[in-house]
Structure 1
Amino acid sequence: MQAHRPIDRRRLRLAAFTLALVYSLAQREVAAGNVWVNLGPEGGPIRALVQNPANPGILYVGTDSGVFRSTDGGAEWRSVNRGLAASSITALAVAPSDPSRLYAAGTGTQFISSEDLSRVFRTSNGGDTWQTLILPGSGSPGPVQATHEIEIDPLNADIIYLVRTSGLLKSTDGGDTWRELSMELASQQCPLYHLILSQQEPGVLFAGTYCGVYKSTDSGKTWRLSSSGMVQGSGSPPSVTDLVIHPRDRCLLWARSSPRLWRSTDCGETWNELPEINLIGNLAPDSNDATVLYGITPEGIYRTNNGGVSWGFLAPLNTTPTNIWVDRSDSKVLWLGTSLRGLFRSTDAGSTWQSRNSGLTAISVSGLSIDPRISDVVYAGTKYKTIDGGSSWTELCMTGPRLCSWASTGILGAPLHVIIDPAHPDTLYLPVREAVIKSQDGGINWSLVGAGLPKLRAPWLVGSPVQSGVLYASAGGLFKSTDGGLNFSQLTLSSSPPITTYDVAVDWHDPNLVYAGTFEGIWTSTDGGQTWRAPGQGLTEGWGSLETDPQAHGVIYRIAGALWKSIDAGLSWHQVLPDLGIQALAIDRSSSRKLYAYSTVEGVMRSTDGGFRWQTVNTGLPEFADGYIRSHYIAIAVDNPSIVYLATDQGVFRMQEQAIRRRRSR
């Protein structure tokens, strides 16, 4: 099992120095032709879309895996995240007066410390590189309050507005400095939800708040309530979560407090209520026709041809939509973002749709499992399978009960992946909410098993690498199954390890030799989990994931920032690598001298001599923040150990190992 762990920043310089020393003492190794290739799956959550106003064929999307850019109208996409230290991009904006200037807001896990952050970024070269902006309340590039929306002055790319939970920020120097704008309302009582700028009348802003619509005519210096005609049963204005100005008519606006909808034809001075419609996401007006708008409901896509007086159904959806946008160059071209299946485009005003996901690999894959018989058969995370080495992917659980959708992150956020039975590779196991599901046909059909597990939370699951049907689960205690997951019994005999057990590893040569990782250390059992020996020397705590050596009895690795190794079944430990943010390890079954590790500092690393010397192997991986794409799991194929797979925030990567050139350090 391979898991993430916070890393001590103060140890990074020492770690880098130590690694440099290891490199300088060792023979240099340069991989010739070892290139990672992205296999997908394509798609993923789409949170934002913007187009270059001077060249609408250039598009950007914000996803849960960073920013992607297309320069050919969405036919092909490429990751553009160098310097972008956030994974989930929730807001994007392009400057109308300087289309190479973009701003992005994102949240996610910081690559070095693993702390959750909310940040704002700027690019001046169309996304090639990004810079983190320092916002009030941080004193550094982060963390700060979440930013929900970014608006840019239509005439001045240096004037930016940020909508945050507590209110509104404004910058007049491209984000170098910021100030709070008073909206003459108590931010705790009237949160700000939405902001729009008039494209025809700079300085005019509208804000949707919990207390109705507010308007400013002096670039946000002063605000007044502008909600005449909007009334709730209490007599107060409604909570407005969405506002739209027509692109060509500065006085035509719509406001939404779902399912209620209002329209103003006098620049927001008065509002008339329209018939209710249960819209989700945003409203998208046709840029050429003031009477046409598009919206999405849980049932599908709708269009109005009379400004919202009535709506007609356009097309059903087989996925969950997030937002809809009208193309800047052709109002019959629509774009639809979804929560999982990526981006769709319509060229006939919404009647038919086609996916536009080539290269858009915004699906984060938590783990990998490779069929030991065929290296082209791979299970990605908990939802996808390929039988052709990643050329195509299918979703698991597409027939019968959709039990795979119950899968969740494991204990303490550890990555989840399918467990393959060592004797029957078509038999699969997957932990779900309060149970385990099992498939005996390679993931087509699943059944619910796991009797005896407590109804507390999703169990975390590990299978024995050598015994068919033997599973270990941690769910409010440590449990074991010896009948293929049908029944689990709690391991509660003498000297059991503490309840918080977050990883188990089983020796490849002795299935009764079992290790349990806990916060107190790594416990060892020599009788299949019935009794346990207290942690050995050399480790002060046991947090991290565990991997046993497939070729050597009693050899185990512990991965937790640094890489540790024991050759005496956990009695003593020594450090193989310093704290470089090591978060995943793979050991070649055919030659345990070959190791792969993922480091948040160095990226992917390889050793061919049991961990004495290491080389980085990152060619082909997307740049992210100040390093490479965040990875969660590494797997080496069994039938062809020259094939290596990598699970990342942007899908699955594959590398075919090539020959290694060696050269001596000078």
Structure 2
Amino acid sequence: MLLSRTYICASHFVSQPALVTSRTYIAMRKDLLVGLIVASPLAALAASQAYTWQNVKIGGGGGFVPDVVFNPSEKGLTYARTDIGGAYKLNADDSWTPLLDWVDNARWDYWGVDALATDPVDTSRLYLAVGMYTNYYDPNNGTILISTDYGSTFTASPLPFKVGGNMPSRGMGERLAVDPHSNNILYFGARSGHGLWKSTDYGATWANVTDFPSVGTYAPDPSDPTGIESDLTGIAFVTFDSTSGTSGAATPRIFVGVANEGSDNIFISDDAGATWAAIPGQNNTYLPHKGVLSPDEGVLYISESNGSGPYDGTLGAVWKYNITSGVWTDITPVSGSNLYFGFGGLSVDLQKPGTLMVAALNSWYPDGQIFRSNDSGATWSPLWAYGDYPAINKYYTYSDSLAPWIGPDYTITTAGTLQIGWMMEGLSIDPFDSDHWLYGTGETIYGGHDLTKWDTIHNVTIDSLANGVEETSVQGLISPPTGAHLLSALGDIEGFVHTSLTTPPLASYMNPSWSTTADLDFAGNVPSSIVRIGTGDASTTPQVALSTDGGATWTPDAGAPTDASGGHVSLSANGNTVLWATSGSGVIVSTDMANFSTVSSLPSGAVIASDKKNDTVFYAASGDTFYVSTNSGATFVAAGSLGASTAPVKIVVNPNVTGDIFVSTDKGIFTSTNLGASFTALPGPTEAWAIALGAPATSGAPPSLFAAATINGVVGYYRSDNVGQTWVQINDVAHGFANAASNVISGDPRLYGRVYIGTNGRGIWYGDISGTAIAAGYGQCGGKTGQAR
């Protein structure tokens, strides 16, 4: 029998996984069952093992891209920021390189990028204003991340207030700007009533501009108790007038837009920020979103909306301000019934003075809209126009070859399909190439390389150009033992059967289609049988669907309730019974598509799972109590205790052994071999979130156990090949995966070492072993100590 003293020196099992035989596994499980294993701090020392990490290619972005920013001085230098997935740098082949994959659990909020500035003088300098939320969702104050090497590395400059990369108005801006004449000077416009801030040492330290006249008065919904909609939007943009002043001295003229509705909202300084005043004659009906300088014209262009975006806004305007004459001119492209949206994205062509473009921020029907002018806004031409309703004339050709699922990949000529995008706050023309343009949407990055055709044949090519931008919020992952190696549940873009990990999928789930798939599961004995659930309106579309062919086709569950959605789902071993822990209607169950019934013996919000061998057995956990059902989920009884746990997170079950269970909790990982009658805490993890089982190291050995967990004080991603007695850390300093508590994991049952990690903002990753495990220390056995990373 394998005793606890063996586990103290158990790094040998990591280095030599073949030693873990089926007989060893049986001995391990018996030890756990009778409680002989004693968790020792010495056993908690985790080794490390090199992994190769790659994104599962979805190809279309998958989330909101609030802005795309070209550097005005270095050709080809372009960045994009996202609301929950960090920042990216454009490559010469139109692909993108992520810049913040090193962000780990300690500062997961760095993936929320609220503003971006690329230095026009020293172009290697890049600044990011990061922080996810200004309310209680995020406990951290904001940070200015500073790079002097184009985003390869960063240093952090802390701010004394929060920053909201995923808050309302995140498409406004840019709120962060570098002085084009004295690049040691930066300004940052804060949210939440914190006003305007200035740095004179390249962003290292910041001071409040106390005499700036307004901190902003607008909040989308002042009564919102969560603090999301009730937070003050604050400063909208900071724009330097590069035509004023001379190199080496602070730029005298600075424009700042502020989210005030019904009062002055565009302010100017003509003395390098010493004094400020509202610009006379301005429109204050709407909120300013963008303030873009056309230097050769001496004009500041402003886009406005009656909402802060990116979802709201039903009216808006576009204005230009002649800096020399002080004259404001309304150049709004449409009026009357044609104006049913606000304006967001705004750009000027620096090669062609007087040429500008502006985007409808939130035209949800029949499509998004972009307008272009060649005469400083006197006249405009649209990207599409109505013919004989509902027919529309679309002045573009469309290609989604890099992300075919976005589709359809042909130009639609009838109203009602959003093809060119929505939530369009970021719209940019390359300052060195009038044909090159990019714009961000709520789903991807579009653009092209023949923009000037708009002015001749009035037809341009729009391509999906988000290759490398993987921004999805992953809700669930499964890796069945047959069929495709991976199926995903994704926020906003449904999810996919990933028949390939390196090429984008052709289509998302259908029949029914939802915006978000909340969870999915497969039947252990019939893995081609799969269930998925959605978060949409159950009164109009069933939020449960079943597949019998590995996710290729789906059938809505005939028994789906009309008042339940979201949460988590489990499918019985033979695929007959669906157990559903809904987001607001408790736990419910259905067999053979009958109407769902309430499982009154389980607390609302319980964590659930199915046994993968026995069709009648389900499991659940809530607080410190584990529950078991042996009658297909109809009733549950309390079984073993999960120690001092108060928040179980995930239950996984050995696919080959009934009742062989692992549960992750706020107190670590607990395991049972007797259908949950009793549990033992695994040595090492003191807190764990997502866990998963994968292929064993050798035939007959136990499944590999993967965990996002805290071991020896280090939050990381770990694998154990010996039932959790020793661990190797498999992520590295370049792959932090941000918020461990938000991520999901699935092990591949067919490929030893393969694990899939679904993040909240950087898509899906898959990792494979690429190096030999390196022991962290041997404690009393070898005398070495320390924690390898």
> How would you bin the TM-score normalised by the shorter chain?
0.7 to 0.9
| Superposed CA RMSD | 3.7
Q: 1:516 is aligned with what amino acid?
A: A
Give 2:60's match in structure 1, choosing from 43, 46, 50: 43
User: Does the residue aligned with 1:570 lie in a helix, a strand or coil?
Assistant: coil
| 1:426 CA drift (Å) | 5.4
| 1:142 CA drift (Å) | 13
User: Does the residue aligned with 2:158 lie in a helix, a strand or coil?
Assistant: coil
Residue matched to 2:370: 301
| 1:222 CA drift (Å) | 2.1
Residue matched to 2:273: 220
Query: What does 1:423-572 correspond to in 2, within 5 Å?
Result: 423=526, 425=528, 427-433=530-536, 434=538, 435-440=542-547, 442-443=550-551, 446-449=554-557, 451=559, 453=561, 455=563, 457-474=565-582, 475-484=584-593, 486-492=594-600, 496-498=601-603, 500-519=604-623, 521-527=625-631, 528-533=633-638, 536=641, 538-561=643-666, 562-572=668-678
Instruction: Provide the rounded CA distance (Å) in 2 between the counterparts of 1:473 and 1:216.
Output: 57
Contact 2:241–2:254 (8 Å) recurs in 1: yes
Calculate the TM-score normalised by the size of structure 1: 0.82
Residue matched to 1:417: 519
User: Does the residue aligned with 1:331 lie in a helix, a strand or coil?
Assistant: coil
Query: What does 1:80-119 correspond to in 2, within 5 Å?
Result: 80-82=100-102, 85=107, 86-108=110-132, 115=139, 118-119=142-143
Residue matched to 2:290: 242
Structure 1 unaligned segments of length 5 or more: list them.
Answer: 1-17, 409-415
Residue matched to 1:586: 692
Residue matched to 1:124: 148
Structure 2 CA distance for partners of 1:567 and 1:107, relative to 1, 3 Å? same
Structure 2 unaligned segments of length 5 or more: list them.
Answer: 1-38, 219-231, 245-250, 306-314, 335-340, 384-394, 397-418, 455-459, 783-789
Query: What does 1:620-635 correspond to in 2, within 5 Å?
Result: 622-624=734-736, 632-635=743-746
User: Does the residue aligned with 1:21 lie in a helix, a strand or coil?
Assistant: helix
Residue matched to 1:617: 730
Residue matched to 1:205: 254
Instruction: Provide the rounded CA distance (Å) in 2 between the counterparts of 1:260 and 1:270.
Output: 16
Residue matched to 1:8: none
Contact 1:524–1:570 (8 Å) recurs in 2: yes
Q: 1:420 is aligned with what amino acid?
A: F
Q: 1:119 is aligned with what amino acid?
A: T
Q: Does 1:160 align with 2:160?
A: no
Q: 2:42 is aligned with what amino acid?
A: L
Query: What does 1:160-199 correspond to in 2, within 5 Å?
Result: 160-165=186-191, 166=193, 167-181=195-209, 182-185=211-214, 187-188=216-217, 191-199=234-242
Structure 2 CA distance for partners of 1:254 and 1:193, relative to 1, 3 Å? closer
| 1:334 CA drift (Å) | 1.0
Contact 1:251–1:264 (8 Å) recurs in 2: yes
Cα deviation code 1:496-519 (max 9, x no counterpart): 233x22311233344444332224
Q: 1:199 is aligned with what amino acid?
A: S
Residue matched to 1:272: 329
Residue matched to 1:597: 707
Residue matched to 2:353: 290
Structure 2 CA distance for partners of 1:246 and 1:30, relative to 1, 3 Å? closer
Contact 1:119–1:146 (8 Å) recurs in 2: no
Q: 1:171 is aligned with what amino acid?
A: S
Residue matched to 1:70: 90
Contact 2:519–2:568 (8 Å) recurs in 1: no
Q: Does 1:344 align with 2:447?
A: yes
Instruction: Provide the rounded CA distance (Å) in 2 between the counterparts of 1:29 and 1:222.
Output: 56
Q: 2:755 is aligned with what amino acid?
A: V
Q: 2:348 is aligned with what amino acid?
A: P
Contact 2:528–2:551 (8 Å) recurs in 1: no
Contact 1:333–1:347 (8 Å) recurs in 2: yes
| 1:571 CA drift (Å) | 4.0
Give 2:438's match in structure 1, choosing from 329, 335, 340: 335
Instruction: Provide the rounded CA distance (Å) in 2 between the counterparts of 1:260 and 1:628.
Output: 39
Contact 1:385–1:394 (8 Å) recurs in 2: no
Q: 1:22 is aligned with what amino acid?
A: A
Q: Does 1:256 align with 2:363?
A: no
Instruction: Provide the rounded CA distance (Å) in 2 between the counterparts of 1:303 and 1:271.
Output: 20
Calculate the TM-score normalised by the size of structure 2: 0.70
Cα deviation code 1:555-609 (max 9, x no counterpart): 3222134222233443443321445653221113665342122237453311111
Cα deviation code 1:151-205 (max 9, x no counterpart): 1111223211111222211122223332222332464479432321112221211
| Deviation larger for 469-478 or 654-663 | 654-663
% identical aligned pairs: 21
Query: What does 1:389-404 correspond to in 2, within 5 Å?
Result: 389-397=501-509, 403-404=513-514
Residue matched to 2:488: 379
User: Does the residue aligned with 2:451 lie in a helix, a strand or coil?
Assistant: coil
Cα deviation code 1:57-108 (max 9, x no counterpart): 2322212311222342634534444458412223210121221221112333
User: Does the residue aligned with 1:366 lie in a helix, a strand or coil?
Assistant: strand
Structure 2 CA distance for partners of 1:304 and 1:444, relative to 1, 3 Å? farther
Instruction: Provide the rounded CA distance (Å) in 2 between the counterparts of 1:662 and 1:192.
Output: 50
| 1:643 CA drift (Å) | 4.1
| 1:397 CA drift (Å) | 3.9
| Deviation larger for 40-49 or 654-663 | 654-663
Contact 2:573–2:614 (8 Å) recurs in 1: no
Give 2:720's match in structure 1, choosing from 607, 614, 633: 607
Contact 1:136–1:179 (8 Å) recurs in 2: no
Q: 2:112 is aligned with what amino acid?
A: S
Q: 2:369 is aligned with what amino acid?
A: G
Structure 2 CA distance for partners of 1:339 and 1:95, relative to 1, 3 Å? same
Q: 1:163 is aligned with what amino acid?
A: G
| 1:548 CA drift (Å) | 2.2
- How many pairs does the alignment contain? 620
Instruction: Provide the rounded CA distance (Å) in 1 between the counterparts of 2:560 and 2:345.
Output: 46
Q: Does 1:652 align with 2:764?
A: yes
Q: 1:102 is aligned with what amino acid?
A: L
